[in-house]
Chains A and B, each alone.
Chain A
């Protein structure tokens, strides 16, 4: 039996879906489930939301007086809780990737990054070389498992359960050397890129920020989220949070439609787990056609136009 602690990821008001995916991984390690710890304001609605997830034994709320989710602030608090657990997991999002190595180092433990499959309670698969190889790693007995969980590899657990919420306090020295200033985020009404079923994605082939509006319009018509290649972000067509790939977001929508993306390995690694990959590219030799389930050789603008027409 493993005693597992999952670190909740949230924005102060809502739990991120990555937490429900992380719980799925936890349940594969131990069917009995896990405790979830929420670091948030005392009156935050997040613990109640977390309590509904299947596989949650109890929710621990550790009240915070400062905003943000600084690793330097959270890590010592997690270390203070660590003695009660054999396994501590967080999502492999920028939140978990920033936080967990700090926790692992303070515990003198190794970390398993980007868990993509649970082989046994102490052994896991993870990708290396941008997903060109998969390794199975084992955490030896006697050492805590510290891991980050690749969201795209695990479906979120169901909601509807009712675990107890306990407010606890931990004794940890919180450093003042790191201060949160602000979060600049382009708010959008579109579905979230990391949990959407359908994603339309644009590359350098889109040519400009203006042209991306055509993709946005089609996405809104189809209820899709919008992603982009690094080249499109570097060129300033769209903001960084839309980047998909090795160094952007790793996503697993049911459908991924790539417009004007060549299919560099660093991009493909971000969509490998997508259900159906569609490539629209004017160059029949583009490498993306090697991984696409459905390919259409042609001009992307004419294709966008025609899809809109056919949708009526």
Chain B
């Protein structure tokens, strides 16, 4: 296999607790710590391991978003990606727009594999990979917890509600990653230095000619309804009594 594309989304770090703007127009993201979407870091790690096993020769990290995404792409280069592409925009793309944009890059680069996260932890849509596969007319293997690359195909174990499903997909294909696929490596200082020399190509979103017009309208944001204040009980007898009060018959 020659090329792997890995998609990386810049998101609010998973340790940060976001808040909704008082006027309901969005969530407050200004000044928050931003990171690579954790699932995408796993996608990149998997690509690196495939390359280390001799299964690929080049890994391209792609991100769509504002100029600041360069930070996340630099991290990806430090982890081991060979080069990076930033599709620059301040627009907020919906998954279909993101998929159409990635498709443009895919058509240009002709990778055998696109690895991406099963969901972005900000919008939690879990759509982009499947949409890309559909538009590309290629297979999708979502929620992967194990990936084995063979000659012209990949055998993928998927985490599904019923357990683990194994499917085989012909390459090229789109694979989306689940958390247990691997544990991403830490970036070492020398790698960060080396990464400074690796290229990041910046393309204006408009220059790609993808239709990224929104399909949905967001009317408002609100904070979730909080649960009522709970009680503390001192022992199991009190616990069982409280449960029976609430209707548990066991």
Q: Interface residues, chain A, CB within 8 Å of chain B?
A: 11, 68, 70-72, 75, 93-95, 97-106, 108-114, 123, 127-140, 143, 175, 177-186, 194, 198, 221-224, 230, 233-234, 239-241, 246-247, 249, 254-255, 265-266, 272, 275-278, 289, 291-298, 303, 306-307, 310-311
Select the residue from A11, A183, A247 with max chain B CB neighbours within 10 A.
A247
Residues B250 and A94 in contact, CB atoms below 8 Å apart: no
Residues A94 and B230 in contact, CB atoms below 8 Å apart: no
**A98 and B140 in contact, given A75-B134, A133-B18, A134-B223 (Cβ under 8 angstroms):** yes
Q: Does B99 contact A (CB under 8 A)?
A: yes
Per the CB 8 Å criterion, the residue count for chain B at the interface is: 83
Q: A224: nearest residue on chain B (CB-CB)?
A: B250
26 examples of A-B residue contacts, CB within 8 angstroms:
A94-B142, A98-B143, A101-B128, A102-B131, A106-B134, A109-B215, A112-B216, A129-B124, A132-B17, A132-B27, A135-B222, A137-B216, A138-B216, A138-B217, A138-B218, A178-B170, A181-B155, A223-B250, A230-B179, A240-B180, A246-B121, A247-B118, A254-B248, A291-B230, A293-B227, A295-B231
Measured CB to CB, the closest approach of chain B to A310, in angstroms, equals 6
State which of B75-83, B156-164, B189-197 sits at the interface with chain A: B156-164
Select the residue from A109, A132, A198 with max chain B CB neighbours within 10 A.
A132
Out of A113, A182, A277, A293, name the residue touching B166 (CB < 8 Å).
A182
Q: Interface residues, chain B, CB within 8 Å of chain A?
A: 12, 14, 17-20, 27, 94-96, 99, 118-119, 121-135, 137-143, 145, 155, 158-170, 173, 178-180, 214-224, 227-228, 230-237, 239-240, 242-243, 246-248, 250
**A294 and B243 in contact, given A113-B126, A179-B168, A240-B164 (Cβ under 8 angstroms):** yes
Question: Considering the chains assembled together, what is the distance between the CA atoms of A75 and B20 in angstroms?
Answer: 36
Residues A183 and B163 in contact, CB atoms below 8 Å apart: yes
**17 additional contacts (CB under 8 A) given A138-B217, A306-B235:** A75-B134, A98-B140, A101-B129, A110-B94, A129-B122, A133-B20, A136-B220, A177-B173, A178-B169, A183-B163, A240-B159, A240-B180, A265-B17, A277-B227, A289-B232, A293-B246, A294-B239
Out of B118, B230, B250, name the residue touching A289 (CB < 8 Å).
B230
